Structure 1
Amino acid sequence: MGADVRAPRLVALGGLHLGTARVEGAVDLEDARIENADGDALDAARLTVGTVLNAGGLTAEGRVRLTGAKVAGWISFIEAELSNPGGVALGISSCEATQLTLRDAQPVSGDVRMHYSTFKVIEAEPQVWPATVRLEGLRYEALTPRLPAADRLALLQRDVDGFVPHSYEQLAASYRRVGDDVDARAVQLAEQRRRRATLPWYAKLWGCVQDATVGYGFRPTRAGGWLLALLLLGSAAYGLHHPPPLEHGKGPGFNAPVYTLDLLLPIIDFGQQAAFAPTGLYQWLSYLLIAVGWVLATAVAAGITRALSRP
């Protein structure tokens, strides 16, 4: 084809075919209306465009197919209305472009397939995306507008392939690129929780422990909270009921907080645990503190290892 393809406000009943075409300049379909409810409204598979593909304001009934398309600039569906209920409304897999924008577009009615596509920027509000998407292998550098991770994570739950780790890593990386480590960690925590659902029961149980104690390493301050709560519990219990010494007249004087720390910290030895022997209910409390201390220490170590192993 020539330098440009310009068809603003085009009305096409039965679809428009641009598949495998090579356009040196731009493709302009602004405010076009294309209808083919039983097939492809716009078939632009393997289309090559030298500058931009402008489909701003497009109304399409049927599939918009850009599979394998290569656009040097941006692909615009600004204020577009894409509808193919029960089928794929936007098939844009294995596509390459600098930017994909659906700014101010109507919510897509039908599925969206974007797997193995590459964009530098994707611009879309969360409400644009439908209930079913496919994102495996999708690569991008940034999402606009800038939104908290909580507003972006819901889309990853809708992937027809289920849990796709790559999608979480891409989203976390996009937050890290702009220096937003808080939202990046929120995405990585959501990834671990989603992964947990795919594991056997015993791994799920251990995952719940890591989540509750240190948030899989992404909420390290939780460990301090647990330690403080248990320290207060043990200090109060043993402060009111001193355990008897193993040998009278020998060993250090009893100190309830230090004794509790001796039970909780599996490596550090303050000499209190070996010098006193609680009985009855307080002996069982000491067993509980020792066990929880080991679980907490192991969870912290596992969480730190996981956090440090990630970019």
Structure 2
Amino acid sequence: MRAGIALDLTPPVPASSGEPSPPHDREITAEIIASLLLQPPPPEPGVVSHLHIIGATITGKLQLAYATVEIPVTMVDCHFAEPAELSDASLRTLNLTGCLLPGLNADRLKVEGDLVLRRTTSGTVSLFRADIAGDMWLTEADLTAAGTAHALQAPQLHVGGGLYARSVTATGGLNLWGAQAFTLDVSASRLSNPTHAALRCDGLRLAQDLLCTRASVDSGGVSLFGATIGGQCWFNDADIHSTTGWAINAPSVGVGGGVYGRGMTAQGGVNLFAATIGESLELAGCTLTAHHNHALRAPGARIEGNLQLHNGATVTGDISLPRADVRATLLLSGSAFTGSTIDLNHATVGALDMTSLNTLPSVLDLRAATIGRINDSAASRPPRIELDGLTYQDLRPVLPAHQRLAWLDRGDSYNPLPHERLAAYYRQLGHDNDARAVQLARHRKRRSHLRPLARLWGHLEDLTVGYGYRPGRAFVSLFALTAAVAIVFAARPPQANRIGGPGFQPVAFALDLVLPILDLGQEQSFIPSSETAWVAWTGAIAGWLLATTIIAGLTRRLSRSGH
């Protein structure tokens, strides 16, 4: 110790004729270690004192609570008979690489340098409000808690550097509630907790990345409620299961960069309620299974980049994004949905891409959504689509009206707004015929919801003038009615009702009857016989109805054109 040389008590490899040294030859009492740390002997000239022990068995309980240790402590591959007590202690550095401990109680521990627990096997490690100025290393550690407690109890832990816990096995999981660190890496770790979050990071604050790549959570899930992550959040190829709640529960999480879960499995769904993500949310090829019907729940979330749920993603349950703001593209192409509703009610999305879906969701809810561009295809449209209040700038591909109208016919009830918006879109493109076809379809759909008399009047408007969007029908109807009346009275001329009147003209007489605003003197000068009186009455009534219908239809047409 005075010379700065390690005391190596590792048993030697046995010779062919001998046995390894007995365990008691490697034992050191905890009292001796505590005494050396609290009152270290003066070092040799030019040497920094350092307690460095390898392969020892520590008997008794190491009591350093409230102690101040001025020299570095390194104990490698040592076996502690009892839990070590370091609560409220202050140390320069602490290295317990490869040690075996029943437990480590170090609440409020202060370490000026690194805390190293690499390959350590221990019961519960408690670091409540501990302050580690350097890095904290848990790589390949094996921690086991009793009952349902967390194997690492470190709420409000402060780590000045990174917290590196790659390939950790934690039966009971890690509790980092309110902790702070530069970065947290639990990649390739195996965590479990039957009743609580296996990785509990509520209120966690990281200056840089959270890395959970290839992590395996057998039960308990991951909780990041209110966490702040300055860099990226990595869940690529992670396998996360929860039997009690969300697989990933991260409401109000704030991520400065992106969230990446390519190939991730989340058995229990992902909750990103009111989350803020500074770049993209990428879930390509992931498998999401619902918790309470929701596979991905992100109401009010704000995503500055893309939301990618494509490239073979499998979703069982709803995608809930009401009031969410996705600044770039919501990419759903190439995904399979089972029993899913995609809810974008009141959402704002730069572009929605669902040109090809392996399996269709049941419902697509776009009510009151604002979407810059929609890319879809006839084969990718769910059986039910709600479009009331939807606004959009562009539809791709540009399709003729009769193909787009099938898109509008998948709602549960009639609302004129989707038809009005589609007609305005076609007018913006200069496709006036398509715009008129959409408006005509709107009136026909509305007609099916009217009372019988109003429905009959609608049929008449449709037949005669196409609700004002087929003006050519008006002239055909007038010509047909006038011709029919003229033919009847040419065969059975009416009788003159005065001497010296004009001569009978069948066409003029028919025009006088059919057109109420026209007076050619024929109707006043001739009286139909009893056999043809009904034709005159029918022609006059039909003329009035036709004229009223034409005026109503053309007025509607002019009104729409003015808008």
1:288 and 2:538 are equivalent in the alignment: yes
Deviation at 1:193, TM superposition (A): 1.8
Residues 4-153 of structure 1 aligned to structure 2 (within 5 Å): 4-36=258-290, 39-57=293-311, 58-84=313-339, 88-153=340-405
Partner of 2:430: 179
Quick check: 132-141 or 32-41, which moved more? Answer: 32-41
Asked if structure 2 preserves the Cα contact closer than 8 Å seen for 1:115 and 1:138, the reply is: yes
The 3 A distance-change label for structure 1 pair 40 and 103 is: same
For 1:209 and 1:36, the matched residues in 2 are separated by: 51
AA at the equivalent of 2:536: S
Partner of 2:556: 306
Aligned-residue sequence identity (percent) comes to 33
SS at match of 2:391: coil
Q: CA RMSD in A?
A: 1.8
Deviation at 1:51, TM superposition (A): 2.1
Deviation at 1:21, TM superposition (A): 1.6
For 1:107 and 1:252, the matched residues in 2 are separated by: 77
For 2:397 and 2:491, the matched residues in 1 are separated by: 57
The 3 A distance-change label for structure 1 pair 107 and 302 is: farther
Partner of 1:156: 408
Whichever of the two has the greater Rg, that structure is 2
Asked if structure 1 preserves the Cα contact closer than 8 Å seen for 2:342 and 2:361, the reply is: no
Deviations 1:17-70 (A, max 9, x none): 333221111222222222227522112222211122222222211111112110
1:219 to 452, 457, 470: 470
For 1:219 and 1:281, the matched residues in 2 are separated by: 36
AA at the equivalent of 1:182: N
For 1:123 and 1:61, the matched residues in 2 are separated by: 23
1:275 to 525, 541, 547: 525
Deviations 1:149-191 (A, max 9, x none): 222223433323x111212212222211111111211221121
Unaligned runs of 5+ in 1: none
Asked if structure 2 preserves the Cα contact closer than 8 Å seen for 1:89 and 1:108, the reply is: no
For 1:242 and 1:281, the matched residues in 2 are separated by: 11
Deviation at 1:254, TM superposition (A): 1.7
Partner of 2:506: 256
AA at the equivalent of 2:515: L
| Structure number with higher helix proportion | 1
AA at the equivalent of 1:45: P
Ranked by relative contact order (alpha carbons within 8 Å, sequence separation 6 or more), the top structure is 1
Deviations 1:80-109 (A, max 9, x none): 22221xxx4211111101211101123523
The 3 A distance-change label for structure 1 pair 178 and 32 is: same
AA at the equivalent of 2:441: A
Residues matched between the structures, number: 306
SS at match of 1:41: strand
1:209 and 2:460 are equivalent in the alignment: yes
SS at match of 2:524: coil
Give TM-score, length-normalised by structure 1: 0.92
Deviation at 1:71, TM superposition (A): 1.4
Asked if structure 1 preserves the Cα contact closer than 8 Å seen for 2:356 and 2:379, the reply is: no
For 2:487 and 2:274, the matched residues in 1 are separated by: 76
